[in-house]
Chains A and B, each alone.
Chain A
Amino acid sequence: MRNIFKFLTKNSFIFLFLLLEFFAFWMLIANNNYQNSTFFNSSNFFVGNMFSTIQNINDYFNLKQVNKELAEQNAKLQSNNIASFTKVYGRIIEINDTVYHQNYRYSAAKVVNNSTNKRQNYITIDKGEINGIEAEMGVICANGVVGIVKNVSKNFGSVMSVLHDKYKLSAKIKKSGYFGSLVWEGNNYREAQLKDIPNHVKLVIGDTVVTTGFSTIFPENILIGWVKEFDLPEGNNFYNITIEFAVDYKKLSHVYVVRSLMKEEQLKLEAESQQEVTE
């Protein structure tokens, strides 16, 4: 027995080393299996408090950046505020000029649901019947066209996006004024095809494509996109044009619903002319 003690005290360094290493590896293996060990990880009270204090101090260094972001957001919200719109377009102040007659009215709406990955995409907005939204109204956003209101409920509106394979949008080349129809073929949500542009028109990549205003849904000259590429197949009278949308429909948040005030007058006149022909 005495010899064992003697042996242990003589080699105490090595034994202590082995003991401590044993503890260390035991902890290592135990904690590799159970990452959420209750006491000794960084979520425990003392260490957690300390890290949150350090984080509090770090937050002060970011204040400038945070302030800037908040100011930008405030400015954005301010300009999206309904008060900013009424001055120009709103329902309260109407421009009653005899030379200019107001044709379009805008009301702001927010996108509450959106998709871009289907072949028939719809957008839901937070304005409906009680806000004066009706079916067949155009929807645009700051950068360009979005779609047409298809159905309205009391508080919401369902918008058929231009990313819908049944939707044809009347579009024209801004520079030359030739018009065609824009169709989306359901592949890339950033691109669409422009049809019916005749082959004698001079095209350049980057040409702006805008709305025509024929349909009374959209005002004239609302941006749609730019010509991305085009080609002229042999023996064909029309170009194949691919355009790139100006709006990134994945990031849509604030839109404006367009009401055409003279739509009914125009449609009525057009219907009358058609009737006369058929009679």
Chain B
Amino acid sequence: MIRDVIVYILMFFVLVLTQVLVLNNIELGGYINPYLYVFFILALPFETHDNLVLVIAFLLGLTIDVFTSTLGIHTSATVFLAFSRKYVLKLISPRGGYDFGTTPSLQSMGMSWFMTYSIILVLCHHIFLFYTESFSFSQFFSTFARVILSSIFTLILIFIVQLFNYNPNARK
């Protein structure tokens, strides 16, 4: 348990630093801007208390915002992501519920489950983020293009991160 907490704290810092120092400098064609840090919320264990997830999301978003000087934008989007996470988990729960002690990962839940889970949540986050950022629907389609392209890029990165500890022979 303590070991898990330490691993998650380390992961928090690694993801924040990667986001702030590397990914925020990527801006392909003004459209693609991946936000890998959301992976932290996606990877929290199933049995994490819902309110705790919200608070963690608030802190994570605030940290990113402090670094990018966009106070409130990432915070609100990440809190919204944590909020949606509860209902998405309920919606796509396997028969018999989630096993105790498992985490939402490619390894433990399988490809199709993890795809559904991450696509829905990343889209939720990015739609919220980009529309809050532009703060209007006047450029609806250009914002939407940014949402879609950035989501694809974020998802690719999330899958790459997942493949680091994916062992196809050791599936449960």
Bound CA span A42–B73, Å? 15
Residues of B within 8 A of A23 (CB): 58, 75
Residues of B within 8 A of A27 (CB): 65, 71-72, 75
Segment at the interface with B among A10-18, A135-143, A158-166: A10-18
Question: For residues 44 through 74 of chain B, which have their beta carbon under 8 Å from a beta carbon of chain A?
Answer: 50-51, 54-55, 57-58, 61, 65-73
* A28 in contact with B71 given A13-B50, A21-B76 (CB within 8 Å): yes
A99 interfacial contact with B, CB 8 Å: no
* A17 in contact with B79 given A12-B51, A28-B132 (CB within 8 Å): yes
B67-A47 in contact (CB<8A)? yes
A54-B79 in contact (CB<8A)? no
Bound CA span A64–B8, Å? 40
Which of A21, A37, A54 is the one whose CB lies under 8 Å from B71?
A: A37
A29 interfacial contact with B, CB 8 Å: yes
A61 interfacial contact with B, CB 8 Å: no
A25-B76 in contact (CB<8A)? yes
B80 interfacial contact with A, CB 8 Å: yes
B71-A20 in contact (CB<8A)? no
A20-B72 in contact (CB<8A)? no
* A42 in contact with B75 given A13-B50, A16-B51, A20-B54 (CB within 8 Å): no
Interface residues on A, range: 20 to 34
Bound CA span A147–B50, Å? 79
By DSSP majority rule, is chain B's interface helix, strand, loop, or mixed? helix
B75-A24 in contact (CB<8A)? yes
By DSSP majority rule, is chain A's interface helix, strand, loop, or mixed? helix
Which of B54, B57, B72 is the one whose CB lies under 8 Å from A13?
A: B54
B14 to chain A, nearest CB (A): 15
Report the nearest A residue to B66, measured CB to CB: A40
Report the nearest A residue to B73, measured CB to CB: A28
A20-B66 in contact (CB<8A)? no
Report the nearest B residue to A13, measured CB to CB: B50
Bound CA span A24–B128, Å? 13
A42-B72 in contact (CB<8A)? no
B149 interfacial contact with A, CB 8 Å: no
Residues of A within 8 A of B76 (CB): 21, 24-25, 28
* A41 in contact with B54 given A24-B76, A24-B79, A47-B66 (CB within 8 Å): no
Can you give 26 A-B contacts (C-beta < 8 A)?
Answer: A13-B51, A16-B54, A17-B54, A17-B82, A17-B83, A20-B75, A20-B79, A21-B79, A24-B58, A24-B79, A25-B72, A25-B76, A28-B72, A28-B76, A28-B132, A29-B72, A30-B72, A31-B70, A31-B71, A31-B72, A37-B71, A40-B66, A40-B71, A41-B71, A47-B67, A54-B21
Sort A-B residue pairs by CB-CB distance and give the 5 closest, nearest first. Answer: A28-B72, A24-B76, A27-B72, A24-B75, A31-B71
Given contacts A16-B51, A17-B83, A28-B75, list 13 more A-B pairs with CB under 8 A.
A13-B51, A17-B54, A17-B79, A17-B82, A20-B58, A20-B75, A24-B75, A24-B76, A28-B72, A37-B71, A40-B65, A40-B66, A41-B69
